[in-house]
Amino acid sequence: MAPEAASTSYRNGGAETVVLGSGPGGAVTACLLAEAGRDVLLVEEGPSLALGDTESFSRDEMRRKYRNGGVTVALGNPSIAYAEGRCLGGGSEVNSGLYHRTPPEVLDRWQTEFGLRDATEADLAPHFEACERDLNVSLLPAEAPPASLRLHSGAEHLGWRSIEVPRWYRYDAGGQARRQSMTETYLPRAVQAGCRIVPQTRARVIRREAGQFKIHCSQDTADGGQRQAEFVAKTLVVACGAVQTPALLRRSGIRDNIGRTLHFHPTIKVVARFPEVVNHAGMGVPVHQVKEFSPRIGLGCAISQPPHLALAMLDHPEALAEVLADWQHCAVYYAMTLGGAGSVTPLPVFADPLVRFGLSAGDMGDLATGLRRLCECLLAAGADLLFPTVRGLGPIACEADLAKIPPALSPGATSLMTIHAFSSCPMGEDAARTATDSFGRVRDVPGLRIADASILCSPPGVNPQGSVMAFARRNALALLEGRG
């Protein structure tokens, strides 16, 4: 090894601070550090694409902006299909933009169970406010999509609490909406402040040598091949998302409480058919959520374009063609729970890590309860036929049919999915169960930090990106203040 490589001439081969991953966690971190005058290099595995380069929720978008084309699965009984972004901006480029602050009761639990300090509602308020400003978190300027309003009316009918969830969108004078993803917000700001971005570069393994980090990467070349690249850094911030961060760290020999406590919001879906039209081509993201049973169970409406409807009808093949012929009367709804736990294990030889997830009988009971609540709500909203993603269950057409839903769903017959992953490297002061301290500093590895969904101690019970950004901001400012 040439002696220069270990010196601090970083221009090409590294930076004072290297951030791995450009999702909400990495983008906020890189932006704040760069704006504070730090020398920052941001390394992103996925391609650099603009928000408008792909049509939202299309197959083309899945192919170009999702990890593994959107087909990733946590193995278990039942297995859970999950999805992650893999592009500049990470999940923020493909998601629905639904914003929540971390619920105060969740923060309280994190404090008592994980020893998380300096993270009360009041401590976090300025961070939430800043992110909300930066991303223009706001309510819809016009009426919500019909399928979304249906859910809301069902909840109102039953006297359940239901809200319109604000989103990070900007609306121009013509009412055109533009999602405030990372490539629209923090990333351009970071570049403006001097941050260098290296896309299509995957960190394979990190080594600590002579007081600094060496990051071994493989880089996509223009001709479709791969070449090796190496970067050095004094401070290394890992923000590769809740699955890839623990995979990278474990592959690099950093294992304490890392990758053993992956959590999801296991989600079950229902296709509902209504007598009236509730869906149309290009129907935007539904925004209503039923909060009556939060945080254990959340109900909402999902993307309901014909391909998504078809996928949700997989357990009812005999009715598929009929439902799709009538798709303007149909929409997809979901019940989201908190249960289960999983792990991320890097495999020898392979690049992709093995993800496993287990659900207890109690968790399957929660899913059954969630499903029942959702069906009740949709019937109250006037749906005349419901198809849950459970083989052999349904269709449900009336209150009496709800009795068909068993007290716990059968693992062999239930199809689950999620788009929310976190908690694989929890933060807090309880060294026995956390991977980092309360500010994302990895225990026993000076200079190494985690700044993504991995550090959320447990499932927040709400859409997580708001929490990811607030903690990333809090921890980046702490770093700048020298508290790390």
Ligand X SMILES: Cc1cc2nc3c(=O)[nH]c(=O)nc-3n(C[C@H](O)[C@H](O)[C@H](O)COP(=O)(O)OP(=O)(O)OC[C@H]3O[C@@H](n4cnc5c(N)ncnc54)[C@H](O)[C@@H]3O)c2cc1C
Q: Which residues are tagged catalytic?
A: 420
Burial state string for 132-151 with b = 16 or more CB within 10 A and e = fewer than 16: bebbbbeebeeebbbbbbbb
CB-based burial of residue 17 (10 Å sphere; 0-12 exposed, 13-18 middle, 19+ buried)?
buried
If the CB atoms of residues 239 and 268 are measured against ligand X, the closer one turns out to be 239
Contact by Cβ (8 Å): 73, 82: yes
Instruction: Please select the residue that binds ligand X; options are 98, 233, 236, 335, rule is CB under 6 A.
Output: 98
- The whole-angstrom separation of Cα 454 and Cα 39 is 25
- Nearest approach, Cβ of residue 323 and other proteins (Å): 10
Characterize the bridge pairing of strands 288-290 and 162-164. antiparallel
Query: Taking CB under 6 A as the rule, which mask of x and - marks residues 214-253 in contact with ligand X?
Result: -------------------------xxxx-x---x-----
Q: At what angle do helices 121-134 and 465-480 cross, to 10 degrees?
A: 100
Judged by beta carbon distances under 5 to 8 A according to partner kind, the member of ligand X, other proteins, none in contact with residue 84 is ligand X
Contact by Cβ (8 Å): 337, 352: no
Instruction: Please select the residue that binds other proteins; options are 6, 314, 398, 431, rule is CB under 8 A.
Output: 314
Q: Does 148 bind ligand X (CB under 6 A)?
A: no
Please choose, from the candidates 14, 480, 466, the residue with its C-alpha nearest in 3D space to the C-alpha of residue 213: 14
Judged by beta carbon distances under 5 to 8 A according to partner kind, the member of ligand X, other proteins, none in contact with residue 224 is none
Instruction: Please select the residue that binds ligand X; options are 35, 315, 376, 452, rule is CB under 6 A.
Output: 452
Residue 442: strand pairing partners: 436
- The whole-angstrom separation of Cα 155 and Cα 152 is 5
CA angle 290, 124, 444 (to 5 degrees): 115
Interface segment toward ligand X; rule CB under 6 A; list 119-127, 139-147, 378-386, 460-468: 460-468
- Nearest approach, Cβ of residue 149 and other proteins (Å): 23
Residue, CB closest to ligand X: 23
If the CB atoms of residues 23 and 78 are measured against ligand X, the closer one turns out to be 23
Binding site for other proteins (CB under 8 A): 58-59, 63, 68-69, 71-73, 79, 281, 305-311, 313-314, 317, 320-321, 324-325, 347, 350-352, 354, 412
Binding site for ligand X (CB under 6 A): 20-26, 43-46, 83-87, 90-92, 94-98, 202-203, 239-242, 244, 248, 419-420, 452-453, 463-466, 468
